[in-house]
C-alpha cells in the first residue's frame, strides 16, 4: 500500500536558538526542583543524625 504523502512536515519548525532556549529552561527547572528535594532530604537526615547524637550523649531523652 503506497502512501499519498511521501514525507510528513511538522506544523512549526524550531530554530537552533529556540531549541537551545527550551533546553536551558528545562535544565533550569530541573536544577531548581532537584535543589529543593535535596535540601529537604538533607534537613530530614541531619535532624535524625543530630537526634541520635544527642540521645547517645544523654542530652536528649527518648520519646518512648
As a whole number of angstroms, the longest Cα–Cα distance in the chain is: 81
Q: How confident is the model at residue 63 (pLDDT cuts 50, 70, 90)?
A: low
Q: Is the pLDDT of residue 44 over 70?
A: yes
How far apart are alpha carbons 64 and 47 in whole angstroms?
Answer: 18
Question: Does residue 51 have a pLDDT over 70?
Answer: yes
Q: What percent of the chain has pLDDT over 70?
A: 89
Amino acid at each position: 500500500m503506497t502512501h499519498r504523502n511521501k514525507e510528513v512536515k511538522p506544523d512549526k519548525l524550531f530554530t537552533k536558538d529556540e531549541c537551545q532556549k527550551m533546553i536551558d529552561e528545562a535544565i533550569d527547572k530541573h536544577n531548581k526542583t532537584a535543589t529543593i528535594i535535596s535540601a529537604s532530604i538533607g534537613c530530614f537526615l541531619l535532624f535524625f543524625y543530630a537526634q541520635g547524637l544527642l540521645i547517645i550523649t544523654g542530652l536528649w531523652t527518648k520519646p518512648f
